[in-house]
Structure 1
Amino acid sequence: MNLVGAWRLVEWRIAGAGGRVSHPFGTDAVGLLCYTPDGHMSATISRAGRAPLPGASPRHAPAEALAEAFTSFFAYAGRYEVRDGYVAHDVEVALNPVLAGTVQVRELNADGDRLILAAEEDGRWHTLIWKRS
């Protein structure tokens, strides 16, 4: 499958034990996933309708507002490689510093103009559905 291009988030769901399903940024989350021809990628996901940080500069925003901005947004970028039904994201930079230097491997499936990426984490399955932009 040709991943090159931009993809818009349709859904991010997490299935836990007993079939419980949650949506970490809500059912209306927004996101953009980009793959370049030369092997770079970036992923950003946000809760819809995020409030702007108060004040003229984020550096002066209250800690609570900064924490909310951090917990309602997800982003990383780096290089990618497709391998036998999987895509590996070699993370170079990330909003959450713990992800930098890791390789995030996702099952890769296609359904028409949709891209489905899935991975298990701590006994729960994260499924992200993207539509070609």
Structure 2
Amino acid sequence: MDVVGAWRLVEWRITRPDGRVSHPFGRDAVGLLCYTPDGHMSVTVSRAGRPPLPGDDSPSACQAQAEAFTSFLSYSGRYEIREGHVAHDVEMALNPACVGTTQIREANFDGERLVLAAPEGGRWHTLFWRRP
């Protein structure tokens, strides 16, 4: 399975057991996933059109910072392909709770798209990526 290179996010969908579908950062979320030949990876995903942060210490600035955190996902580390799965060994992350974890995703190709999927809390996360 050749995943090496850069990939742009097409869609991040969450499917619940009752069949309802949601898009955690919106239908127009943006993202970049990179795999290097020597086994490193990096991923960033965000809500589209995020506003700049205010430059003060007001309560609204604190709220804006919290929103910036909850509308952005980023981590990097090493990866391995394992029998139809890709394992991301997280070394750095926006959320410190992710550091030291291994994120395992089913990996498939749908035509030219890379599809990464994993269960979480009874829901199924599916991310569709395409080469730029």
Indicate the TM-score class for this superposition, using the shorter chain for normalisation: over 0.9
SS at match of 2:53: coil
Q: Could you list the per-position Cα deviations for residues 57-106 of structure 1 after superposition, in whole angstroms to 9, with x for gaps in the alignment?
A: xxx57210110100010000000000000000000000011000000000
Matched, 1:54 2:83: no
Divergent runs of 4+, >3 A: none
Matched, 1:119 2:118: yes
Contiguous gaps of at least 5 residues in structure 1: none
Report the Cα distance in structure 1 between the residues aligned to 2:70 and 2:25, rounded to whole angstroms: 9
Q: Could you list the per-position Cα deviations for residues 16-72 of structure 1 after superposition, in whole angstroms to 9, with x for gaps in the alignment?
A: 12101000000000000000000000000000000000128xxx5721011010001
Contiguous gaps of at least 5 residues in structure 2: none
SS at match of 1:19: coil
Q: Aligned pairs, how many?
A: 130
Task: Give the equivalent residue in structure 1 for 2:83.
Answer: 84
Letter in 2 for 1:88: A
Letter in 2 for 1:123: G
Scaled by the length of structure 2, the TM-score of the pair is 0.95
SS at match of 2:18: helix
